Amino acid sequence: MRGVVLIAVAVMIATVLLAAGCERRGADHRVEQLAELEDGVYEGQEPSDERLEELREAVRQLESRVQERVRDHEHLGRYHKMLAIEYLNREMYGLALDELEAAIEIQAENPVLFYYAAVSAARQAKSTREAGARQELFDDAEWYYKRAIEIRPQYRSALYGLSVLYLFELDAPDEAEPYLDQLLELRPNHREAQFLKGRMRVMQGRIDEAIEVYERIADEAASASDREAALQNRRELQEGRQ
């Protein structure tokens, strides 16, 4: 029994020493990072020992306040996200966009925030009467989609959303093409994207290629509704050429 107690005590001491060591290393790293921000360091000058000691003291005094401030902003980011979700669920897209932009101010590398900001901006644009304001929102949606894809190049929802925006809102099929091709490369059987490709070919005036797209969909479609929609599109294109 005594041996078990001694082992437990030894483990506890080792854990405490390890935590203390990690804390010291963390503090040292923090001092190094602060030193890098000192004036003159970018020119190759080394901080003096006196200055390094001042930085160590600053870390000791401010670390807990710094961590608390970071946690506060993390909570604030979650608040904006939760509010944005609720607004989206209620189709209050302008308000959702405001909250998503606020969340992006806090978390600037989250592709999902940019994706939903794009969706919100595009939806709000469709309900905006003034042409200039409507176009500005569509431009914002385009930028947000592109930023989401820049952060996560294989973000299929953003690739699809941007393709839809170009085809149905901005009348820019050539702009849509590389994103649609990228989406279909990632997911060749993406049925909605395949229909978009047919629509894109029609807008580009490449009717024969559009007919081929719809024929391929009809041949591969698992559902009767998709097959019938593809055949109907093909028939309309063939009749339009006669």
Interval 129-179: pLDDT, tens? 999 999 999 999 999 999 999 999 999 999 999 999 999 999 999 999 999
Cα 134 from Cα 170, distance rounded (Å):
11
Instruction: State residue 16's pLDDT score.
Output: 42
**One-letter identity of residue 157:** S
Domains (ranges, CATH) in the chain?
A: 66-158 (1.25.40.10)
Instruction: State residue 217's pLDDT score.
Output: 96
Spans in the chain with pLDDT lower than 70: 1-27, 39-44, 242
Instruction: State residue 26's pLDDT score.
Output: 56
Instruction: State residue 3's pLDDT score.
Output: 55
Query: What single string gives the DSSP state of each residue in 5-26?
Result: HHHHHHHHHHHHHHHHHHHHHH
Instruction: State residue 2's pLDDT score.
Output: 55
Q: Is 216 exposed, middle or buried (0-12, 13-18, 19+ CB in 10 A)?
A: middle
Instruction: State residue 28's pLDDT score.
Output: 81
Cα 163 from Cα 186, distance rounded (Å):
14
Instruction: State residue 231's pLDDT score.
Output: 96
User: What's the pTM?
Assistant: 0.81
Cα 108 from Cα 121, distance rounded (Å):
18
User: Nearest 5 degrees, angle CA 75-CA 81-CA 82?
Assistant: 90
Instruction: State residue 43's pLDDT score.
Output: 55
Q: How far lies 176's CA from each of 78, 117, 134, 167, 226, in Å?
A: 33, 19, 20, 7, 22
